[in-house]
Amino acid sequence: MKNDHFLMMNRRDFFKTSLTGAAALSTIKPKFLSGQQAAGKTVVAVVKTMDRAQGVKDVLRLLSFPSPKGKSIFIKPNFNTTDPAPGSTHNDTLRQLILEMKARGTSRITLGESSGPPPTNKVMEEKGIPGLAQELGFDIINFEELADDGWTHFNPPGNHWNEGFSIAKPAAEADYLVSTCCLKTHGSGGHFSMSIKLAVGLTPKAIRRELHSKRDTDMRKMIAELNLSYKPKVIVMDGVEAFVDGGPSRGKKVDAGVFIGGTDRVAVDAVGLAILKELGSNQTIMGRKIFEQDQIQRAVEIGLGISRPDQIELVTPDNASRDYAEKIKPILGEG
C-alpha cells in the first residue's frame, strides 16, 4: 500500500517557502548563549570542541526542540561501515546522545540501521553496539531482518525513483526520531554525506542499486526525496573529525573540532557544507554554491526545510564557538 498522503503538507510548505525566496540575503548574526529562534528563521547550533560528550551536551542545550519526556524515541545513526569517525558514528557521540535523551525523560529508545555493503549485524557487533545497548538500556533493530510487512512504500509525484521507494516502518512510523550524522564528503556520487544522506540507511539494500546506477544523473535528488518519508525532531552532527575528500567510509581526514545541531535538515547540511568549504574541500564542494548542491536544491524544491541561507540563525555556547561561527558566516551567506 502506497503512502502518499504526506505530500499535501510538503507541497504547501514548499509553495510557502518559495514565496519568501525572492527576499534579499541579510546578515546572519550568530547569537551568544541563545537558543531562541528568530522569526522566520531556524536555529543551528555551532559548538567548537574536540570533546564529543561536551559537543552533544552543548548542542542540545542550545536548541529548542520537542521534549522527549514520556516518548518512545527512534535514533538513526550513521553505521554504514565500522570505519572510525567520520566513517561511522562515534560510540562516544551515540552514548552521550542516549544519556541526554534519558535525562530528558524518554520512556524507551530504539536504534535502527541497515549498513552497507557489510552486513548490518557484523557492523553492529564490531562497533560494540549490542554491549552498549545492554549497558545503557536501548533496543536495536537490524533493518536487514525486517519482514516484507516491515517496510512502508512511498511514491511521491515527480520523484526520480523508477517505482518509488521503501523505508523501514519503525522509522517511517516513529513518533519521535533523532538523527545523528557525520561531517564528510561522499566520493561515491552523493558529493556529501550529512543529515539528508542519512536516509539511505533506512532503505532496503536492494533498491540502493538503483540509487547508485544513477550516480551521474539523479542520485543526489533521489537521496533528498527519501527524506519525505520522515522528519527528525532534532539532528546532531559530529564534526570533531571530517572528511574533506573521499568518503563515505574513508577519505582525507582533518580535525575540524566542531559539533552542529538543528531541527531543519537543509539548514544543518548547509552549515556543514560551509564548514567543509572553510576547511578546504574537493572541487564538488568548493566549486559550487551551497544552495546549488543537488541534495540541497532538491530538498528545497520538495519543502524539506529552509530555502535561503539568511533563514539560518547560528547560536553558540562560548567565545571560541562564536568566533568560528563568525568565520563561517560569510561562506554560508554566499549561498
Instruction: Note the pLDDT tens digit of each residue in 42-87.
Output: 999 999 999 999 999 999 999 999 999 999 999 999 999 999 999 9
CA–centroid distance for 251 within its chain: 19
pLDDT bucket at 155, cuts 50 / 70 / 90: very high
Beta strands in 160-292 (DSSP E): 165-168, 176-186, 191-193, 234-246, 251-262
pLDDT digits (tens, 9 = 90+) for 289-323: 999 999 999 999 999 999 999 999 999 999 999 99
pLDDT of residue 40: 74
What does the domain layout of the chain look like in residue ranges? 7-333
Mean pLDDT of 190-206: 97
257 Rama class: left (phi>0) / alpha (psi -120 to 50) / beta: left
Question: 7-333 in CATH: which number?
Answer: 3.40.50.11440
For residue 255, what is its C-alpha cell?
Answer: 580535525
DSSP 243: E
Share of the chain residues as helix, strand and coil, in percent rounded to the nearest 5: 40, 25, 35
- Cα–Cα dist 291/310, whole Å: 12
Euclidean distance between CA atoms 304 and 225, whole angstroms: 9
Quick one: which of 130, 131, 110, 126 has its CA closest to 173? 110
Give the Cα separation of 280 and 254 in Å (integer). Answer: 10
